[in-house]
A and B are shown apart, each in its own frame.
Chain A
């Protein structure tokens, strides 16, 4: 039950981070670096990767 909740939360985080990251990346390239002046896109990417790894890991666990 608990694992299922965590899996769901991480899944949502992953989806939203993924959408946000690509929208921000597009806006950044359109605005010639304006977005990356305010946001560190590298940190954003790392967060996305960490949550993606967690998501895959939990997906495997829950499917077992």
Chain B
């Protein structure tokens, strides 16, 4: 009798020890790999539900199939993942359905600000395309007409007269304006602008960069600053080194010709009342925030525009390329889409009451003569893109989702270097621009994250100990 009891006791204790070893093995990720998944069937644990509610539904169940999921009808949505230790990288896989959303991206928050490192999950422009397809390394090249036999040929000499769409790829080229001559005229912009500005201008070989900015702090309660940076081909060549609240001039000589980017780092409390320059060409990229009141004319090549205001007085009818657009809501982005003209056509926007933000996929100028497009006809693809208007599409680092009978599985890998804190609490976002405007939604059935780090070997432990002692 005693023997039976003894054997039973030893068996139970052994099972308990095995249980603790398995849990600790997982906790310390001794193998270097740790996997976590959530299928929305129960209360969330290490992976949260998608949020916020309003953009996603509560957890739902299909009683026929037993599938559990959340339905995403707006974007962006977020979810958090808690890991027991810090890892070096994470591969996130999503099981979902997507009937019609053109682009879905997954992002990892890598800074204390709300800035996410976005990567593609699904791009229907590429997946559904019947264009000639070439793949090379991690690039996918689609051609409407078969003009190139290799991606290298195409990249070696990008055809500047053709319309090219890029996705998740930044093309390298030097913008140049043939027959450009410096002007002796002064371009004076009296329209007030609010917040951070990203200007592009073009200089002849022996032309000096000459700008002056007058600005005010619209919120005297907090001290706001302005910092000016100048870039050539993404290399910073000038920093005014001061963030003092004063009007600023830039006069730079011997720069050499070419395209220059000027960034005015400022908060939305900063209002630029006047900008003067000796440069002929001056455009703002993707965004223009008109401040003050009164009418203003702006020119753009963007085919889609988003308007936003938080001022009742700025609600109005806006004239865009002869069409009327009614801005009738405050604190909400309202979209205008060009359906009449050709891709990237130059258009005038006439605003009666300023104090509104305009965003687009292109450039803005204040006079027709100062407008130029530093991207030639090269555009970054977005959900509103009409791909049939382009000649080529080049995508980088994109793999189509795996199609299963009812669900799709898409994955992306993230390097966790640079994630703030101890890298144990990660925040992800699912971005699907334009989803709120289409009737069909995205159902997410499962989130799986596989983390990786070097295996925990005796050698690694020893090295870490030595490093800590040192």
* Interface residues in chain A, defined as those with a beta carbon under 8 Å from any beta carbon in chain B: 1, 4-5, 8-9, 12-13, 16, 19-20, 23-24, 27, 31-39
Contacts and interface: CB of A to CB of B under 8 A. Distances in A.
Interface class of chain B by DSSP? helix
Contacts of A9: 4-5, 8
B46 A34 contact: yes
B20 A33 contact: no
**Size class of the B contact interface (CB-based, 8 Å):** 10 to 19
B386 to A, nearest CB: 46
Nearest to A38: B23
B176 to A, nearest CB: 56
Contacts of A27: 23
Contacts of A31: 27, 84
Given A20-B19, A31-B27, A38-B26, A8 B45 contact: no
A45 to B, nearest CB: 16
Contacts of B13: 16
B9 interface: yes
A57 B22 CA distance: 34
Contact of A33 (B16, B19, B22, B46): B46
A50 B147 CA distance: 76
Contacts of A1: 1
Contacts of A32: 82
A24 B24 CA distance: 11
Give 8 closest A-B pairs by Cβ, nearest first: A16-B12, A37-B45, A8-B5, A33-B45, A20-B16, A12-B9, A37-B46, A34-B84
B16 A16 contact: yes
Nearest to A16: B12
A9 B45 CA distance: 35
A53 to B, nearest CB: 19
B189 interface: no
Given A12-B9, A31-B84, A37 B1 contact: no
Identify the interface centre among A13, A23, A34: most chain B CB within 10 Å of its CB: A34
B22 to A, nearest CB: 8
Contacts of A24: 23
A28 B1 CA distance: 37
A21 to B, nearest CB: 10
A12 B23 contact: no
A13 B12 contact: yes
B36 interface: yes
27 contacts: A1-B1, A5-B1, A5-B4, A8-B5, A9-B4, A12-B5, A12-B8, A16-B12, A16-B13, A16-B16, A19-B16, A20-B16, A23-B20, A24-B23, A27-B23, A31-B27, A33-B82, A34-B23, A34-B26, A34-B27, A34-B84, A35-B23, A36-B45, A37-B36, A37-B46, A38-B22, A38-B23
